[in-house]
Amino acid sequence: MFLLKGITVSAENIYKEYGSVKALRGVSLRVYEGEIYGLVGPNGSGKTTLLRIIAGLVKPSRGVVRVYGYDPYEDFKETRRYIGYLPEDANTYDLLTGYEHLELYAKIYGLGEDVVKYGEELSQLGSRLRDLASTYSRGMKRRLLLAIVLMRKPRVALLDEPTSGLDVHASVNVRDTIKRYVLETGATIIVSSHNMLEIEYLCTRVGLIYRGVIVDEGSPRELIEKYNASNLEEVFVKAVGELSREHY
Ligand SMILES: Nc1ncnc2c1ncn2[C@@H]1O[C@H](COP(=O)(O)OP(=O)(O)OP(=O)(O)O)[C@@H](O)[C@H]1O
Ligand SMILES: [Mg+2]
């Protein structure tokens, strides 16, 4: 397939049905190299489904997805080299230390000591890396899991709610890690969240997803201006309000 310059992830008219449930109803997006693209929407709006489709873990019912020109589902072997995926429900192994997690995944990826070092740095867990993961708080586990995803420097990182359940301090930490990662590597990030303020702070571009459709898209500033709103939360309410009058 012809690969447009700068576009790393594209989705054209994606549908996904689970039985009678329409999880996605014609989603299209294009994400460029070096972008942090945010998917925001309420529970059940299709964020995880879309990320799993881009990760090549789920086959769409209809539509075309490309990651660096490859179909992530059909060419899974090829695209898994580019893609790092943090699932919303990822967990750690109780009987391994944080450090052992980093070593284990470096081995699985066939990578060396420098990758473990980078993982240590990304996790910001310091000496706590020597403790069993069972002793970690939720925020510490999330930071370890994010480090595991990013340490092998994926060109495309798909992060499903990386800060869910974290306190303000831990969330700021994770957001800074994501921003720094993009600055250092020029990679592409797609991140999902319920937290509109977080997305406003973190993302270069945002897709507002509601009932399986991206209802609007743009930089946080563009959207705030377009809807004459004071923040992204207000944008969402206005965008979805218009849609619900039109279609439901
Ligand atoms: N494996 C599955 N089997 C059946 N239905 C599913 C499956 N996965 C998702 N769905 C349905 O698809 C819709 C979208 O779910 P999805 O998990 O993508 O939403 P989400 O935006 O990630 O929600 P949340 O914010 O709660 O994580 C929901 O109605 C959900 O019940
Ligand atoms: Mg989800």
Within a domain: residue 198?
yes
How many C-beta atoms lie closer than 10 Å to residue 219's C-beta?
Answer: 13
Point out the ligand 1 atom lying closest to the alpha carbon of residue 49. 18
Instruction: Return the pLDDT at 5.
Output: 56
Rounded-to-integer distance, Cα 55 and Cα 49, Å: 10
In angstroms, what is the span from residue 160 Cα to ligand 2's centroid? Answer: 7
Residue 40 β-bridge partners: 193, 208
Rounded-to-integer distance, Cα 197 and Cα 75, Å: 36
Within a domain: residue 22?
yes
Q: Which domain holds residue 225?
A: 7-247
Within a domain: residue 196?
yes
CATH of the domain at 140: 3.40.50.300
Instruction: Return the pLDDT at 245.
Output: 56
Residues with CB under 5 Å of ion ligand 2 are 47-48, 88
Instruction: Return the pLDDT at 145.
Output: 96
Mean pLDDT, each 10-residue run in order, the chain (248 residues):
71 97 96 96 95 97 96 93 92 96 95 94 95 94 95 96 88 92 95 90 95 95 94 91 60
Rounded-to-integer distance, Cα 56 and Cα 83, Å: 9
Within a domain: residue 11?
yes
Instruction: Return the pLDDT at 227.
Output: 94
Instruction: Return the pLDDT at 102.
Output: 98
Number of domains in the chain: 1
Q: In a mutational test of the pocket of ligand 1, which residue from 16, 22, 49 has the highest number of ligand atoms less than 8 Å from its CB?
A: 49
In angstroms, what is the span from residue 21 Cα to ligand 2's centroid? Answer: 15
Within a domain: residue 2?
no
Instruction: Return the pLDDT at 164.
Output: 86
